[in-house]
């Protein structure tokens, strides 16, 4: 493998990565195992609720490490337990498992073996980092609190976290931590901020029922295509004219389907899109605004309109106390100047928010810029990341498990 960074060179030479007074360090052999795992996951991506081979691979690694686990949780999920001090709540580390319905165009030697399915969001890396952390934790000193590993399906569908919670993923858990590889930040950096770090997201579907007619006789129609077109343009004013510019938000129409032939006026149309917001009040304002505008435009033109909002996830909000623990773990993992705040609003959504509604915790970003690939964002057919970030992530997760475990132990008088 080509060595791309000084961090990776250190790992390849058998030296601890970013050697300093951290709790956990990583040697070259462990780093190589993570890279091999990441490439295996990348080569064999699976969509949400179909992650059977992925689960098999995770369980095989856990078997090798001697870590107890339960599989087939909420379908394809896996829960693993690393023992710690008794009578102390567990620290949970979460990794998402699923890939995306995208045809890969990276040209990597370990490119997807399945046409139309790709790990284009870094979940292959997230799995490898948490498994790498598990290796460090299992081989290290006794833990101040048990550590639960949550391998979650279907993050991209927005339904995996809730299903895992219903299946007991947070039972006996005191805090929960997660993270995401991020090409916007240099490899080796850890981005830690409290407050809102990911937007909420809601999908919307607008169905328009007009009156089909011959293209030569428009007066006999209620043109669903025209009605839908007016909706597309009018909805853009929701953010630009009804929301405070200081509150980041987005309304985007991603799909518009209407018409069956060039000489037939459309009697039906469907619009689908997404709403993003970082405040609950703005989220609700935008949903009400979409419904109000769609119905008003339909009424003006005599069309029947139905609007629905299949929800995805609320915003990810890091509480201050747990974020302080995450920052401490990050400072134990990388040099001080590599621990940074989120420099701009992240409008992407994450169903990790559901865990944070139930337990305190923190969601961080893990810098993974790959030189020459900065222009290929997540969910792109050419997305890739610097594999040296795997070492940073594994060590951070191991460190935060210990730091949070110590805090839980003190709080419980253990």
Residue whose token pair is 């295509």: 225
Domain 6-197+315-411 has CATH 3.40.630.10: yes
User: Is residue 120's pLDDT more than 70?
Assistant: yes
pLDDT in tens, 175-204: 999 999 999 999 999 999 999 999 999 999
Instruction: Please report which confidence band the pLDDT of residue 97 belongs to, taking 50, 70 and 90 as the band edges.
Output: very high
Confidence band, pLDDT 50/70/90 cuts, at residue 4: very low
- pLDDT tens, 192-247? 999 999 999 999 999 999 999 999 999 999 999 999 999 999 999 999 999 999 99
Q: Where are the domains of the chain?
A: 6-197+315-411, 200-313
According to the model, what pLDDT value does residue 14 have?
Answer: 42
| Residue 12 predicted with pLDDT over 70 | no
Residue 299 pLDDT greater than 50, yes or no: yes
- pLDDT at residue 64 greater than cutoff 90: yes
**Residue 73 CB-half CA count within 13 A:** 26
Residue with tokens 């992925």: 54
What confidence score (pLDDT) does residue 17 get?
A: 42
What residues have CB less than 8 Å from 202, skipping those under 6 apart? 274, 275, 283, 287, 309, 310, 311, 312
Per-residue model confidence (pLDDT) at position 343: 83
3-state secondary structure of 127: helix
Buried residues in 318-348 as b, exposed as e (16+ CB within 10 A): beeebbbbbbbbbbbbbeeebbbebeeebbb
Q: Active-site residues: which are they?
A: 98, 155
At residue 3, the pLDDT reads 33
Give the per-residue pLDDT at 22: 46
Tell whether the model's pLDDT for residue 23 goes beyond 80.
Answer: no
**How does DSSP assign 164-217, residue by residue?**
HHHTTTTTTEEEEEEEEEETTS-TT-EE--SEEEE-EEEEEEEEEE-B-EETT-
| Whole-angstrom distance, CA of residue 312 vs CA of residue 308 | 13
Which pLDDT belongs to residue 267? 98
Tell me which of 3.30.420.10, 3.30.70.100, 3.40.50.1100, 3.30.70.360 is the CATH number of domain 200-313. 3.30.70.360
Nearest to 305 by CA among 203, 205, 233, 209: 209
Mean pLDDT, rounded, for 56-76: 98
**Distance spanning both ends of the chain, measured CA to CA:** 46
The 10s digit of each residue's pLDDT in 147-176 is 999 999 999 999 999 999 999 999 999 999
Under the banding of pLDDT at 50, 70 and 90, the label for residue 372 is: confident
Residue 11 is predicted with a pLDDT of 41
pLDDT at 413: 83
């Amino acid at each position: 493998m080509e060595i791309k960074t000084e961090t990776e060179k250190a790992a390849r030479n058998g030296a601890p990565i970013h050697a300093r007074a951290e709790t956990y360090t990583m040697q070259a052999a462990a780093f190589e195992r993570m890279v091999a795992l990441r490439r295996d996951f990348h080569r064999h991506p699976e969509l949400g609720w179909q992650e059977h081979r992925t689960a098999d691979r995770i369980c095989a690694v856990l078997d090798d490490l001697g870590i107890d686990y339960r599989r087939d949780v909420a379908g394809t999920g896996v829960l693993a337990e690393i023992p710690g001090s008794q009578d102390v709540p567990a620290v949970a580390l979460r990794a998402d498992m699923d890939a995306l319905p995208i045809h890969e165009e990276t040209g990597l030697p370990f490119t997807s073996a399945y046409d139309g399915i790709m790990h284009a969001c870094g979940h292959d890396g997230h799995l490898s980092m948490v498994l790498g952390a598990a290796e460090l934790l299992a081989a290290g000193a006794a833990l101040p609190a048990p550590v639960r590993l949550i391998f979650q399906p279907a993050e991209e569908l927005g339904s995996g976290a809730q299903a895992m919670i219903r299946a007991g993923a947070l039972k006996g858990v005191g805090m929960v931590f997660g993270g995401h590889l991020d090409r916007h930040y240099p490899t080796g950096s850890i981005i830690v901020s409290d407050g809102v770090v990911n937007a909420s997201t809601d999908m919307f579907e607008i169905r328009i029922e007009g009156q089909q007619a011959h293209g030569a006789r428009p007066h006999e129609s209620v043109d669903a295509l025209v009605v839908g077109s007016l909706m597309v343009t009018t909805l853009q004013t929701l953010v630009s004219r009804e929301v405070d510019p200081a509150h980041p938000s987005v309304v985007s129409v991603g799909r518009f389907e209407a018409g069956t032939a060039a000489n037939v006026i459309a009697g039906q149309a469907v619009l689908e899109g997404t709403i993003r917001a970082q405040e609950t009040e703005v989220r609700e304002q935008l949903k009400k605004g979409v419904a109000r505008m769609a119905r008003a435009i339909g009424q003006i033109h005599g069309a029947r309109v139905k609007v629905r909002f299949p929800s995805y996830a609320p915003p990810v909000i890091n509480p201050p106390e747990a974020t302080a623990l995450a920052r401490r773990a990050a400072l134990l993992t990388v040099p001080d100047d590599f621990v940074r705040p989120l420099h701009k609003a992240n409008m992407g959504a994450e169903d990790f928010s559901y865990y944070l509604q139930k337990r305190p915790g923190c969601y961080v970003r893990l810098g993974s810029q790959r030189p020459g690939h900065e222009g290929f964002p997540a969910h792109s057919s050419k997305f890739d990341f610097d594999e040296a970030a795997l070492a940073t992530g594994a060590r951070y997760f191991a460190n935060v498990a210990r730091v949070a475990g110590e805090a839980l132990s003190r709080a419980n008088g253990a």
